[in-house]
Structure 1
Amino acid sequence: MRIRVKAIIQIVSCFIMCLVTVMFVNPGKAEAIGINRMFQNPQNPNKYYFVGMVYYDTWSNAGGQWISTPPGGITDVDGFDYVFEFSASRKIKDVRVSKFDYYREYGDEIFEASRSFEMSQNSKSYYVQATSRNYSLTNRPWTGKGTNVANVPVYVVQARLEAEYPVNRRLEEEQKGQQFAPLVQGWRFYFPTLFEIELEPEEGKAIIKHYTTNGRSLNGVFPDREEKLEKGKSYTFAHTPGNADYTYVGHKKSTVSPPSGGTITPGDHPPFTYDASFPTYYLYFYYEAQDKPPPPPPTASCTPPSPGATINGRYMDPVVTARI
């Protein structure tokens, strides 16, 4: 009787482990992933990386028969609808998906940033050794281009259950006090996915206008304009040369609001590198109107007589009208 109860307990334990496996293999939609779980490329701050970790557990029953795909077999593993979210001011340009290579450039940094919880449970080698090299990823379209949120459905398919050292799930559970029948086996295989997310450059704009020193707009003389600013780029905005009517005096600039009041700074504003700490760069150029001498008074002139012409002119009183 005691042996029979023990066998029943072992079978139930095995069933529970299989149920847990199904729950983990079919996780559904993931919560939004923020930049705190991504690695930012130090050479290109508009690129971020994230590693998704899908795994597959396979178990045999007390009779040694495999309940799911056995080691060495090929199966579809499932995956996530991954959601990546950035600040409202950023726009997603592109998302690329590929199998993750632990030994790629910044491989350690990418994995540690993405999988901080897993790293708190086991060393990186634990996952490297249990990773399969043979699997495919679905090529489903992602959404969210031009916004700050991307939804990227990625599923692992045609995965071969093989690895250098797959995780011995039976041993891990036995270390927690679980008991199994002698023929029960449990193995875990990992299938990491790399997401490379590229954002549009952080942008601002420069508003450049032209005024006289008394505040009159010269947009009809010197065209006002707006120019895009990209974070990390250097900019030089030289004044529009004056002309015969207006002489350049200097400029006013502001990164808070349109310049009003204050003194005009002679010369041009020095070059600057846009750091995205402000959305708008206001630069106003000022000109002084040139004083022109008054036109000379008109001179008297005689009109030669011609047939049929009438000339009115006052010489003395009375007015004389002549017709020739």
Structure 2
Amino acid sequence: MSNDRLSASRRLDVALAMAERGDSEAAIEVATAAIEADSDWDEAYFALGEILEKAGRKDPAIDAYRQYLMRDATDRMGAEVRLMLLGAVAMRDRLPPEYVRALFDDYAPRFENSLRDKLTYRAPELMFEAVRTLLADMPHPLEVLDLGCGTGLVADVFAGKIDVIDGVDLSPRMLNRARAKGSYRDLVVADITAMPDMATSRYGMVIAADVLNYLGDLEPVLAMIHARLLPGGILVMSLEEGAVYPFDLGPGQRFRHHPDVIAGWLKRAGLEVISDQQGTLRQEKGNAVTGRIVVARAVSAIIGPTLLPELAVSAVEGDPGAPIVLH
């Protein structure tokens, strides 16, 4: 560490301690001094932005976050998320992947304790109840793909009720904890919007628990899920419910989806809704987070804009009543 970075780091530590005590003005002054000591340190700009934002100084906070983004194009600290919440940039379709990865890599050691004990997280239990009566009639062996599997909370709940489960997650440290449980056959570090090759190409069930909240427009990923499901296969997903159509970004830095948009997205992705139930996913700052547990079945055709025009023409010129199957 250079002398400039060391001096800046010491000053920033003092600034953060001042902000924690509620002395915002002094914290802003010392954080600014940290940047003066090392003007290339991206984290100092982000920290200054946070201090300014908490102090109610919106415009200077926006400038600090923008200064951070000029120095870290990957946005591992999530400055663009802050700018979206401050109304300084247009709503994006997803949160920055590097930010989500860094967030959960850091969160991994305390993830389960935080969700289960502090936030009363129960999405996996709600999802199991939503599909419980369907499991007996599904073809076996039942192979399941767990999207955004994290440390394996879904596998904990579904253990003994399914035959095989594979998992995908953006965070290597979360997957290390899932791997230690021994519940998964295959675990892959990947972005769910760019699905890697898995041990099985198509699954009887895909589970997406508390992962689609990090995406805004779900239509592309739902089409990808359809491609990963066997005919008649089941998708079960949890979504946070919002009042803004089609979606907005909540203060918890997760997307909330309007109920009216979900059915249309599913239909165009070739997924038929079986059930759509409201429930409390977890607690956040003492308040219940309302969500939806949606179960949908894969049908043979994808309709709407995801259907290739030449396939549509071919079907019409041949047998108009025949189903269109995309491979």
Pairwise TM-score range, normalised by the shorter structure: under 0.3
Between structures 1 and 2, the one with greater strand share: 1
Query: Scaled by the length of structure 2, what TM-score is found?
Result: 0.21
Normalized per residue, the structure richer in helix is: 2
Greater relative contact order structure (CA < 8 Å, 6+ sep): 1
